[in-house]
């Protein structure tokens, strides 16, 4: 089940929310939310919901052992980490690693066909956050299994984040309040996120999908740049839209989740980009991998190595494909080049020039991220910078995509990817009228569109 589906919007959410409001206590509300979250996950994954519950149970007992602070404390923590990485490795990477070994050694090991549980990367990282936080601070251990299960399975952020660190939300599980103002803010935030997904991401995404499906002579400089530009807008509004919906839903149920995006496309360096893009996952890797590796405290070489390791795993976390790994490594490389002033971003006075540099790197690397394989990524990037002989076929395909609806969605995407609207003082009644209008447009669009899941559900 996804937030942009009619089943969620018109059946699951209203029914769950009404029941939530009449629950007499936080404990009763938590039981309801846990049950609703498991139903939400089981709607599309009826079998793998048991995998999640089993994983939560193992880590719950591991955390209890860790909290005892005896001679088995460290061993329990190590075993819990290994268990979680094995679960993630088996279900997400077994096929990829087998294919890689077969290709490298020219052998033919049967490739396992294992269905990828939706959101496994997200809930596994939250489980790791829980056991790591308990290992660092034994007082954080949660004695109630239901509360741990709720933290992991809470449906607003279960399948595509934000990745919530346990210590950020531990107090809210049993002590949170719900006010009319918070509810109204949550509903508005949810509708804004839904509009990002339905009205912008889906519209430009159709063009991005068409361009990245081209082969042969159809692939040209115009179609490649159009596909790249459309995908840059699509992935931001798709993912930030989901995050807005998750944060809004959290507020409706009394939770405060961390922000996940802060206008990344206005960044003036790649370092700045990663302070603004997918903040929860970059924060997770910084706290649970980069700093334990030594961070930037052990000399230039070790700092560089730590960054390469972090961005290798950042790419691998996104998916079992070399495209994601290369995407992560290239981002890590640019951060290193900026840190050592080989790319002297700090010395460039022109904000426009710094912004153009950053958005160019982001756009080109997202081509790698979106491509089916490295061969397609290389073909697209090569055409983007050398394909000046414009073929009539690719020109025809290019012009066919430039519909008024696509142009409007791209223009809206460019405007709303900047904080310009925030700087305009809009009367409250106009703001709420606009929000209601966006909701109506989303409902109309949903009634006539096919299923279009969020990009990050595959991770």
* Residues carrying an active site annotation: 318
The encoded tokens of residue 13 equal 């959410």
Nearest-angstrom CA–CA distance, 13 and 7: 8
**Taking the CA atoms of the chain, what radius of gyration do you get in angstroms?**
23
Nearest-angstrom CA–CA distance, 14 and 17: 5
Cis peptide before 204 (omega within 30 of 0): no
Other beta carbons within 10 angstroms of residue 112's beta carbon come to 11
DSSP 116: P
Cα 81 from chain centroid?
22
Following DSSP, what letter does each residue of 429-459 receive, concatenated?
Answer: HHHHHHHHHHHHHHHHHHHH------GGGG-
Asked whether 133 and 163 are in contact (CB, 8 A), the reply is: no
Identify which of 102, 170, 93, 100 has the alpha carbon closest to the alpha carbon of residue 124: 93
Nearest-angstrom CA–CA distance, 146 and 34: 8
Name the 3-class secondary structure at 43. coil
The encoded tokens of residue 366 equal 């997202």
Identify which of 415, 416, 13, 419 has the alpha carbon closest to the alpha carbon of residue 187: 13
Identify which of 148, 173, 163 has the alpha carbon closest to the alpha carbon of residue 53: 148
Widest CA span in the chain: 73
């Amino acid at each position: 089940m996804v937030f942009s589906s009619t089943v969620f919007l018109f059946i699951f959410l209203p029914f769950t929310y009404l029941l939530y409001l009449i629950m007499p206590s936080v404990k009763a509300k938590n039981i309801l939310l846990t049950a609703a979250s498991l139903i939400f996950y089981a709607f599309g994954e009826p079998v793998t919901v048991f995998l999640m519950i089993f994983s939560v149970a193992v880590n719950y007992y591991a955390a209890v052992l860790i909290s005892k602070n005896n001679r088995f404390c460290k061993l329990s923590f190590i075993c819990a980490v290994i268990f979680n990485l094995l679960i993630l490795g088996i279900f997400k990477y077994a096929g990829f690693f087998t294919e890689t070994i077969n290709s490298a050694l020219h052998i033919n090991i049967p490739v396992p066909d294992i269905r990828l549980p939706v959101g496994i990367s997200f809930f596994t990282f939250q489980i790791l956050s829980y056991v790591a936080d308990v290992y660092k601070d034994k007082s954080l251990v949660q004695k109630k299994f239901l509360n741990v299960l709720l933290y992991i399975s809470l449906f607003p952020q279960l399948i595509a984040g934000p990745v919530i660190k346990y210590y950020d939300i531990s107090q809210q599980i049993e002590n949170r309040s719900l006010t009319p103002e918070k509810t109204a803010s949550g509903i508005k935030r949810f509708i804004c996120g839904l509009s990002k997904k339905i009205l912008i991401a889906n519209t430009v995404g159709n063009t991005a999908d068409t361009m990245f499906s081209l082969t042969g002579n159809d692939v040209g400089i115009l179609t490649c740049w159009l596909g790249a530009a459309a995908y840059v807008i699509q992935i931001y509004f798709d993912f930030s839209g989901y995050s807005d919906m998750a944060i809004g839903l959290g507020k409706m149920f009394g939770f405060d989740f961390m922000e996940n995006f802060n206008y990344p496309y206005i960044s003036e360096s790649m370092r700045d980009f990663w302070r603004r893009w997918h903040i929860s996952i970059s924060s997770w890797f910084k706290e649970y991998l980069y700093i334990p590796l030594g961070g930037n405290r052990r000399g230039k070489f070790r700092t560089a190595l730590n960054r390469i390791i972090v961005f290798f795993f950042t790419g691998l976390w996104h998916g079992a494909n070399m495209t994601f790994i290369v995407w992560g490594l290239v981002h890590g490389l640019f951060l290193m080049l900026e840190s050592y002033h080989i790319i002297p971003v700090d010395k460039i006075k022109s904000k426009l020039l710094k912004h153009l540099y950053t958005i160019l790197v982001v756009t080109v690397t997202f081509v790698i991220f979106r491509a089916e394989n490295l061969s397609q990524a290389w073909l697209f990037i090569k055409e983007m910078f050398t394909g000046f002989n414009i073929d009539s076929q690719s020109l025809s395909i290019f012009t066919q995509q430039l519909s008024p609806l696509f142009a409007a969605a791209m223009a809206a995407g460019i405007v709303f990817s900047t904080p310009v609207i925030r700087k305009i003082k809009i009367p409250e009644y106009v703001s709420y009228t606009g929000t209601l209008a966006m909701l109506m447009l989303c409902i109309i669009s949903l009634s006539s569109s096919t299923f279009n899941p969020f990009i990050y559900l595959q991770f």
